[in-house]
């Protein structure tokens, strides 16, 4: 029974962010501690709706009203059991998810931030942090071993979720990763100020203790023939991500000082890991232009400020979205609206409805400016606004315009799997590629998406692999390969 008046007596509240001038001096996470009583009060705002729309927003099917009420009643140990029942890694989603559950929370029908949606994501992260602190997150090795083996290629959230599910179901699981550390984009894409890597390390410790094996610095299809995996393992699950960054083939692209976001972010993360004393691509003292207004661009923005950029502009070809939920995306769908993450609060200028015409260089072949013009949307197409051209001086340009799909050469050509029209690895309703016994999950099959979807896909694909090897499976299947976000 929830608190019948919680949502009437308590306003929505989130933890404070550390002051900007303090936090950009370091790489730690930006939020201050919230405090147990604050979390309980926030959880107590949940109405335990007859139809909990928050469930429809979350691809994992998280049991949100159940753990909200458990937290309200101070029963944290049962709360983490209910949370882990649907989500292998709440410490990742609790920090990094854009929270489609909150967008579809019934309390979110009222758009005001003080009376708005239940702070579901904050309750989630507080449950798992408390569980780790109390020592409740322990290895869950299988009672019985199945005698079957699975190779998982890729160690992002999809590969890790699948590996944990399959290990716990009794299969011998080996995760192959071409990078030198495990974690995929959680490791080398997402900056430390969004999620400190210690959260990843302690989860990997649990997985190793459960029996999952990890092989790093092994590019399957290059260092190890993919065929060897097929003959040495009973099933193969591909979870290699959508790693090919969208480029901008405008004149001058060859100039020095223009980089894809995923050339810029990983070395910065390596500095935090202690591998490098300094990053080879730094924003220090530079005027920086980020092309792409999304989350990857925001990660570049926060990184550039911490490196000491002189100025930062973030460009977006789309017009500025409205301040409140746009009428075209009514509740409970994911709202089209202006979003300002912590990185935007730290400085920089956002410029909307602009297109890059060309990059301009100096005599040494380095970028010195970009030539821009404004665009207007006319009958669904971008049209140049005549007379709106201008130059924006810069010494560093970062391209953060999304990803075009999975890398073909190496693994995928070696396996000869089919690719679908959207550039992703084709799969049937049972997560299987066109090569028998080879399955696919995460961004490699869905295209660039979110961590919560990668975990949901990893869990569901694990159930399919388990059924393929054992004849049946009781593992959960939270989503299907063609399930779409609520819209």
Ligand X SMILES: Cc1cc2nc3c(=O)[nH]c(=O)nc-3n(C[C@H](O)[C@H](O)[C@H](O)COP(=O)(O)OP(=O)(O)OC[C@H]3O[C@@H](n4cnc5c(N)ncnc54)[C@H](O)[C@@H]3O)c2cc1C
Q: Which residues of the shown chain bind ligand X in the complex (CB under 6 A)? A: 96-97, 153-159, 176-179, 184-185, 189-190, 194, 219-221, 239-241, 243, 265, 295-296, 299, 410-411, 442-444, 449-452, 454
Site string for ligand SF4, 14-53 (x = CB under 6 A): --------------------------------xxxx--xx
Closest CB 407 distance from ligand X, rounded Å? 6
* 162 vs 431: CA distance, rounded Å: 12
Rounded to a whole number of angstroms, the minimum distance from the CB of residue 96 to ligand X is 4
242: nearest Cα among 403, 27, 452, 412: 403
Residue 177 binds which one of ligand SF4, ligand X, none, with CB within 5 to 8 A depending on kind?
A: ligand X
Cα 297 to Cα 290: distance, rounded to the nearest angstrom: 6
CB of 485 to ligand X, least distance (A): 12
Q: Which does 454 bind (CB under 5 to 8 A by kind): ligand SF4, ligand X, none?
A: ligand X
Tell me which residues in 113-132 interact with ligand SF4 (CB under 6 A): 118, 120
Residues ≥6 apart with Cβ < 8 Å to 22: none
Residues 260-279 that bind ligand SF4 (CB under 6 A): none
What is the C-alpha separation between 107 and 134, in angstroms, rounded? Answer: 32
Q: Which two tokens stand for residue 155?
A: 């160690």
CB under 5 to 8 A by kind: which of ligand X, ligand SF4, none does 200 bind? none
C-beta closer to ligand X: residue 170 or 442: 442
- Nearest distance, CB of residue 271 and ligand SF4, angstroms: 39
With respect to ligand X, which residue has the nearer C-beta, 106 or 298? Answer: 298
Q: With contact defined as beta carbons under 8 Å apart, do 115 and 78 qualify?
A: no
Q: What are phi and psi of 18, to 5 degrees?
A: -60, 150
Alpha helices (H) in 111-197, listed in sequence order? 120-134, 157-168, 185-188
Pick what 293 binds: ligand X, ligand SF4, none; C-beta below 5 to 8 Å, kind-dependent: none
Q: Where in 335-402 does DSSP place strands (E)?
A: 349-352, 354-361, 367-378, 381-384, 390-393, 396-399
Residue number with CB closer to ligand SF4 (7 or 233)? 7
CB of 7 to ligand SF4, least distance (A): 7
Token pair for residue 123? Answer: 């309750």
Residue 451's binding partner among ligand X, ligand SF4, none (Cβ under 5 to 8 angstroms by kind) is ligand X
Kindly report the length of the chain. 487
Q: Could you say which of 54, 173, 242, 464 contacts ligand SF4 (CB under 6 A)?
A: 54
241 binds, among ligand X, ligand SF4, none (CB under 5 to 8 A by kind): ligand X
> CA 72: distance to chain centroid?
28
The residue whose two tokens read 């792409």 is 292
Among 65, 245, 292, 297, binds ligand SF4 (CB under 6 A): 65
- Residue placing its CB nearer to ligand X in the complex, 156 or 332: 156
Report what 106 binds from ligand X, ligand SF4, none; CB cut-off 5-8 Å by kind: ligand SF4
Helical (H) or strand (E) element with 313:
strand 311-316
For residues 88 and 367, what is the distance between their CA atoms, to the nearest angstrom? 44
Q: List, in order, residues 6 or more apart from 127 with CB less than 8 Å away.
A: 67, 71, 76, 79, 80, 83, 90, 94
> From ligand X, ligand SF4, none, which one binds at residue 97 (CB under 5 to 8 Å depending on kind)?
ligand X
- SS3 label, residue 335: coil
Kindly tell me which of 49 and 371 has the beta carbon lying closer to ligand SF4: 49
Q: Which residues lie closer than 8 Å to 260 by C-beta, 6 or more apart?
A: 245, 247, 398, 399
| Partner whose binding site includes residue 123, from ligand X, ligand SF4, none (CB under 5 to 8 Å by kind) | none
CB 53 within 8 A of CB 61: no
User: What 3-state class would DSSP assign to 187?
Assistant: helix
Site for ligand SF4 in 79-108 (CB under 6 A): 105-107
Q: Which residues bind ligand SF4 (CB under 6 A)?
A: 46-49, 52-54, 64-65, 68, 105-107, 118, 120
């Amino acid at each position: 029974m929830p608190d019948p008046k919680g949502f009437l007596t308590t306003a929505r509240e989130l933890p404070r962010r550390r002051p900007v001038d303090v936090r950009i001096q370091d790489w730690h996470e930006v939020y201050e501690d919230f405090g147990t009583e604050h979390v309980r009060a926030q959880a107590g705002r949940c109405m335990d709706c007859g139809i909990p729309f928050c469930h429809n927003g979350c691809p994992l099917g998280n049991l949100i009203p159940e753990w909200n009420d458990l937290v309200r009643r101070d029963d944290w140990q049962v709360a983490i059991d209910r949370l882990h029942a649907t989500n292998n890694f709440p410490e990742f989603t609790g920090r990094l998810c854009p929270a489609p559950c909150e967008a579809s929370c019934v309390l979110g029908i009222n758009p005001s931030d003080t009376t708005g949606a239940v702070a579901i994501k904050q309750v989630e992260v507080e449950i798992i942090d408390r569980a780790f602190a109390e020592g409740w997150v322990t290895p869950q090795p299988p009672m019985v071993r199945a005698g079957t083996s699975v190779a998982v290629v890729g160690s992002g959230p999809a590969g890790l979720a699948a590996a944990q599910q399959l290990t716990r179901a009794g299969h011998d699981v080996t995760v192959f990763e071409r990078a030198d550390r495990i974690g995929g984009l959680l490791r080398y894409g997402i900056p430390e100020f969004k999620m400190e890597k210690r959260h990843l390390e302690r989860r990997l410790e649990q997985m190793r203790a459960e029996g999952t094996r990890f092989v790093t610095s092994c590019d399957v299809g290059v260092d190890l023939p993919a065929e060897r995996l097929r003959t040495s393992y009973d099933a193969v699950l591909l979870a290699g991500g959508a790693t090919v960054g969208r480029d901008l083939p405008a004149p001058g692209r060859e100039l020095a000082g223009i980089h894809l976001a995923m050339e810029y972010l990983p070395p910065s993360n390596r500095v935090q890991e202690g591998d490098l004393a300094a990053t080879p691509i730094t924003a220090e003292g530079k005027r920086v232009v980020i092309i792409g207004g999304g989350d990857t661009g925001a990660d570049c923005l926060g990184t550039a400020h911490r490196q000491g950029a002189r100025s930062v502009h973030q460009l977006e070809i789309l017009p500025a979205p409205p301040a409140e939920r746009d009428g075209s995306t009514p509740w409970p769908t994911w709202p089209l609206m202006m979003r300002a993450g912590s990185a935007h609060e730290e400085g920089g200028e956002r410029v909307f409805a602009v297109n890059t015409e060309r990059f301009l260089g100096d005599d040494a072949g380095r970028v010195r400016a970009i030539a821009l013009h404004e665009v207007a949307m006319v009958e669904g197409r971008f049209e140049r606004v005549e007379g709106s051209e201008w130059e924006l001086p810069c010494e560093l340009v970062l391209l953060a315009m999304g990803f075009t799909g999975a890398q073909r050469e190496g693994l995928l050509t070696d396996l000869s799997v089919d690719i679908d029209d959207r550039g992703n690895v084709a799969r049937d309703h049972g997560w299987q590629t066109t090569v028998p016994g080879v399955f696919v999950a995460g961004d490699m099959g869905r295209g660039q998406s979110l961590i919560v979807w990668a975990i949901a896909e990893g869990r569901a694909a694990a159930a399919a692999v388990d059924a393929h090897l054992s004849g049946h499976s009781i593992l959960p299947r939270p989503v299907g390969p063609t399930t779409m976000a609520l819209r």
